[in-house]
Amino acid sequence: MAHSEVLIVGAGPTGLSLALALHRLDVPFRIIDRLAAPAAVSKALAVWSGSLEAFAALGVVEEFIASGIRLHNLHMGDGAREIACMPIAEGVDSPFPFTLILPQSRTEEILARHLAAAGHAVARGVELIDVTEIGDTVRATLRHGDGRTETVDTPFLIGCDGARSLVRQTLGIPFEGYTEPQTFILSDTRITGGLDPSCIYIWWSAKGSVALFPVEDGIWRTFALRDEPAQDGPPTLEEMQAHLDACGPPGLTAHDPSWLSAFRINERLAASYRRGRIFLAGDAAHIHSPAGGQGMNTGIQDAVNLGWKIATVLAGRGDAEALLSSYEAERRPVAREVVAAAARTMHLGMVAHGEATRLVRDTLISIASRIPAVRRKIQGAMSETRIAYESGALWDAVHRFGADGHPHAGARARDLVAEEGSLWQHFSIRRHTLLLFGGDEDNAQVRNAANGLGETVDVRTLGIDSRAAERYGVNGSGWVLVRPDQFIAARGGPDDVAAFDAYARLALEPAV
């Protein structure tokens, strides 16, 4: 392994996404995984809009769209009656305003196949056993399947090695949080009874709750809370059927199980995401209840956020400390909210079953599902399209200039469909994109500043377009700078170049 190769530890969705990002950014890397073969069991199922946007940046989104099942509605009920039916992606502001059901194993297979086609294979059966930092170098000790050890030096090491991350443990980073006392059971089975495979069902009664998710090929995943918390073994098909009979939609019969498991939920967040040139991403940094289905998605977006920043530093541009520290400053608050929201959702939907609680829950859900503004807020949170970065060196550098307009710096970029196609197609993980609004003579200062940075900034002139002005909140003339991960870096008026210059010093100009 060359010293210039970044080392990715773990070949789950996060590690594979990071590898694809580094490939597209022309960064040499090596990706290893201790398992000799990919896991056959799929923990995650949902791919939300925010991750589809990330996959667009990685050049693989079309295959995901072709492979997944589009989810339409979330049905919620109590006993024999349905109390709410909510569209899952209605009104989501994204080039991909839908949610896909795709087993994690298929997600990993698609990502790994694209990596292999680009000449990058996962080194399987290779385990990290030690890691230390020596100056600007990370030294890792690896153990191969045949027992031999290897010592490698790398400029950056990223631990994408899951909830039991050896990288996190070796660094001594606390995994803060708690373990839920309840035992949950799940099954992957076929179910007869008229369920719609494009929908999710969450149902409860005085005896408990069940949640049902389509998987693929007629298989459904069922979650339930076990009646006997001390019992740790996997459930039987009969136990799962008993929960469906007691708590689920009427008339369902489970059969042909392919997976039966029992588990406890951990709600945990790494105290820090970075130690020098060593980083944590995905489940190594955050784990939580499967409620909301956002764990894998959050890790994928960790990868895209970190990938372009590492590439920029290795290319000798920007302020290395500002860029590298911004990863934790931006992504950890996102995970903190995901962990908290998943815990709230799990307790509301799966744990609380008292009569008073059910009455309040049924009433609130019935009312909330009928209020468009509430639905949009829920859908935006679930789809991970309401994320905004409002901390860290990159945001601090431009926030003090107080540029007017929404979406503001740190918010997601917005798509705009015009005669020449989607604006989103012009964004690239390889560079920043400067959007210029107004007449030909406007924005001369910022245009000149961007042109002086060469190929690191792609300048796009949108002219005077009322739709663009509405989407980006530009009144007349102005500019918006979009980052490689499709978030807004900075914005300003036609004569306001200060925010652009401040950001460029941290992320675009040659390092001093």
- Its CATH architecture, for the domain 184-264, is 2-Layer Sandwich (3.30)
pLDDT computed for residue 349 by the predictor:
67
pLDDT value at 1 more than 60: no
Domain assignments of the chain as residue spans, ordered by start: 6-45+103-177+267-351, 184-264, 393-507
pLDDT value at 213 more than 70: yes
pLDDT digits (tens, 9 = 90+) for 429-473: 999 999 999 877 889 999 999 999 999 999 998 877 767 778 888
Whole-angstrom distance, CA of residue 299 vs CA of residue 331: 10
What confidence category does residue 402 fall into, taking pLDDT thresholds of 50, 70 and 90?
A: low
Residues above pLDDT 70, as percent of the chain: 94
Q: Which CATH class is domain 393-507?
A: alpha beta
Cβ contacts of 186 within 8 Å, gap of 6 or more: 221, 222, 223, 224, 259, 260, 261, 262, 263
What 3-state DSSP class applies to 299? Answer: helix
pLDDT computed for residue 234 by the predictor:
94
Which pTM value belongs to this model? 0.94
pLDDT computed for residue 420 by the predictor:
59
pLDDT digits (tens, 9 = 90+) for 142-172: 999 999 999 999 999 999 999 999 999 999 9
Q: What is the mean pLDDT of residues 207-230?
A: 89
CATH code of 6-45+103-177+267-351, in short, is 3.50.50.60
pLDDT computed for residue 355 by the predictor:
66
Residues above pLDDT 90, as percent of the chain: 70
pLDDT digits (tens, 9 = 90+) for 348-395: 767 656 666 667 667 777 777 777 777 777 777 778 888 999 999 999
pLDDT computed for residue 425 by the predictor:
86
HSE of 68, CA atoms in CB hemisphere, 13 A: 28
Give CA separation, 20 vs 288, 299, 331, in Å.
Answer: 25, 14, 19
pLDDT computed for residue 200 by the predictor:
94
pLDDT computed for residue 184 by the predictor:
92
pLDDT value at 2 more than 60: no
pLDDT digits (tens, 9 = 90+) for 42-81: 889 999 999 999 999 999 999 999 999 999 999 999 888 8
Give CA separation, 61 vs 48, 54, 112, in Å.
Answer: 12, 8, 14
Domain 184-264 and domain 393-507 have a common topology? no
DSSP 282: G
281: its two tokens: 């991403």
Write out the DSSP string of 240-261: HHHHHHHHSSTT-EEEEEEEEE
pLDDT value at 195 more than 90: yes
pLDDT digits (tens, 9 = 90+) for 358-368: 676 677 777 77
What confidence category does residue 217 fall into, taking pLDDT thresholds of 50, 70 and 90?
A: confident
- Which residue is associated with the tokens 């199980």? 257
pLDDT computed for residue 88 by the predictor:
86
Average model confidence (pLDDT) across the chain: 91
pLDDT computed for residue 115 by the predictor:
98
Give the chain's radius of gyration (CA, Å). 24
Which residue did the predictor score with more confidence, 467 or 186? 186
197: its two tokens: 């495979």
Q: Are strands 46-47 and 99-101 parallel, antiparallel or unpaired?
A: antiparallel
Tell which residue, 139, 125, 122, has the closest CA to residue 3: 139
297: its two tokens: 């998605």
Cβ(325)–Cβ(310) below 8 Å: no
What 3-state DSSP class applies to 504? Answer: helix
pLDDT digits (tens, 9 = 90+) for 411-435: 999 998 766 568 888 899 999 999 9
DSSP 164: T
Minimum mean pLDDT range among 22-36, 84-98, 271-285: 84-98
What 3-state DSSP class applies to 494? Answer: coil
pLDDT computed for residue 142 by the predictor:
98
